[in-house]
Amino acid sequence: MWSPFFRPLRGIIWQERPLDTLIDGLACTTLVFVAVEDARRFRIRNGAILVLVGLFGLAVWLSGTDQDAIWHGVFATLVLVLMFGAFALGLVGAGDAKLMAAACLWIGPENALLFAMALLCLTGLYGVGAKLRVLPARLDGHRVKIPFGPSIALAWIMTIVLSSNVLN
């Protein structure tokens, strides 16, 4: 069915389980919306977070991996507590904290290092782009404030693609 040219792309374009591909696609679409919305308005809608968490629940229900989901939930809860600490210190917004917890729910502890490395690189690149006034940012005195949502969303997408197609 697959020509020799497209065979290396088979895992990226179409997985063995088409509903998984659909769920990943819906999650990525939602993440693009979140990234654009946060870059433009410095706001992440609660509805988008709920869609992402709901898609995770649907993926767990379809796959039957309840035990893994429990550990993902524990990991996400720990990250949410840490991120709300960062929110209390004024380091991140509440939407960023919730988005990070939702990302960790999906990614889980097994892909946390990959996600963290991607997030660090993308946040640094966004910071440089904001300093050069190529990417949206806000000035607060002498500090440049950048939206964290685009970096989280893109790191999440990168982790979904890399973990499902390269690491497995």
Q: What are the pLDDT digits (tens) for 5-39? A: 333 434 444 456 778 888 988 999 999 999 999 99
Q: What is the pTM of this model?
A: 0.85
Average pLDDT in the 78-93 region?
A: 96
**Run of H or E including 140:** strand 138-140
The residue range of the domain holding 131 is: 16-165
Residue matched to tokens 């968490």 = 53
**Could you tell me if residue 65 is inside a domain?**
yes
**Could you tell me if residue 32 is inside a domain?**
yes
| Tally of structural domains, the chain | 1
Q: Helices 112-131 and 94-107: crossing angle, nearest 10°? A: 150
**Could you tell me if residue 8 is inside a domain?**
no
The region of weakest confidence among 7-11, 55-59, 72-76 is 7-11
**Under 8 Å CB-to-CB from 148, ≥6 apart: which residues?**
38, 92, 93, 96, 99, 123
For 106-138, the pLDDT digits (tens) are: 999 999 999 999 999 999 999 999 989 899 999
Half-sphere exposure at residue 14, Cβ-oriented, CA atoms within 13 angstroms: 6
Question: What pLDDT does 15 receive?
Answer: 52
**Could you tell me if residue 11 is inside a domain?**
no
**Could you tell me if residue 23 is inside a domain?**
yes
**Could you tell me if residue 71 is inside a domain?**
yes
> Structure tokens of 163?
């973990």
**Could you tell me if residue 115 is inside a domain?**
yes
